[in-house]
Amino acid sequence: SLPGGGPQKAGVAIADLMTGMYTTVAVLAALAHRERTGIGQYIDMALLDVQVAMLANMGSNYLTSGRPPQRWGNAHQNIVPYQAFQTSDGWIILAVGNDAQFRKFVQVGGRPELADDARFATNPERVRHREALVPIVADMVKARGKREWIELLEAVGVPCGPINDLAEVFDNEQVQARGMRVSVPHPSGAQAALVRNPIVMSETPPQVRTAPPMLGEHTEEVLRGLLGYDGAAIADLRARAVI
């Protein structure tokens, strides 16, 4: 978050999701080890450990400098301009990764003199003069629309991208071409819209076979098939409102 804005939560459960990802890697590594040695092992995964590990360059910045990074909102700590900017009709993320890209960006924006300004000519100077440069870039970006900026910057090799809401995400032609939205029959009689597993494999691709179950849909199946409960025991559970 920006300075003074208070701590901000992410929109999704990042620690939970990333711990699952790391755990998958650990399980695969353990399986490979067992295949070679015949020895299994205990895997210990902690949400806290993963949150520390995934700090990436922020963690490295602190460990090498001894200075905790300050809040910069959507801005990059080490590269400028590298953050979200508002266009005339929406938002884009601009990722000017080096001096050559900065020169191309300001030329497209109609301010080529900025690349020769001593305050902005190199990335270390742009970082040092961030507070002077960012308002200039913000005014420049507001002069055009989101799609126009994307087309202009992609043409000269300056990394950028639109910031889409979820309606725009699922309307995106690439998202549609990749089949990220799938529809499966639901027990209610309707079609359930789901997000496809992002893994694509040539021989064993993941498949969406069933929709999310109704509440309690498989309770009796689990009790009978996995736990060995008979009809009388299940009826007793229902009578006591356990299930």
Read off the pLDDT of residues 109-125 as tens digits, 9 standing for 90 and up: 999 999 999 999 999 99
- Judge contact between 158 and 172, C-beta under 8 A: no
- Confidence (pLDDT) at 116: 97
The dihedral built from the CA positions of residue 18, 19, 21 and 22, taken in this order, carries a sign that is positive
Q: What percentage of the chain has pLDDT greater than the value 70?
A: 98
16 part of the active site = yes
Whole-number Å distance between alpha carbons of 62 and 55:
10
Q: What angle do CA 148, 152, 153 make, to 5 degrees?
A: 115
Largest CA distance in the chain: 84
- Domains defined for the chain, CATH in brackets: 14-65 (no CATH), 82-163 (3.30.1540.10), 164-211 (no CATH), 213-243 (no CATH)
Measured CA to CA, the distance from residue 233 to residue 88 in angstroms comes to 66
Q: Which two tokens stand for residue 70?
A: 């300050």
Please, are residues 88 and 143 in contact by the beta-carbon 8 Å criterion? yes
Interatomic CA distance for residues 208 and 180, integer angstroms: 11
The C-alpha atoms of residue 147 and residue 153 are separated, in whole angstroms, by 10
Average pLDDT over residues 91-99: 97
Residue 53 and residue 47: Cα distance in Å, rounded?
10
pLDDT at 5 over 90: no
The number of beta carbons lying within 10 Å of the beta carbon of residue 35 is 8
pTM: 0.75
Q: Which residue has the tokens 């959507």?
A: 74
Q: Which of 16, 89, 116, 171 is catalytic?
A: 16
pLDDT tens, 39-63? 999 999 999 999 999 999 889 989 9
- Asked if 211 and 237 count as a contact pair (C-beta separation under 8 A), the reply is no
217-233 tens-digit pLDDT: 899 999 999 999 999 99
Task: Label residue 1 by pLDDT band (50, 70, 90).
Answer: low
* 71, 5 Cβ separation under 8 angstroms: yes
Contact 84, 74 (CB under 8 A): yes
Separation in Å, CA 243 to CA 48, 78, 184, 215, 227: 35, 55, 27, 11, 14
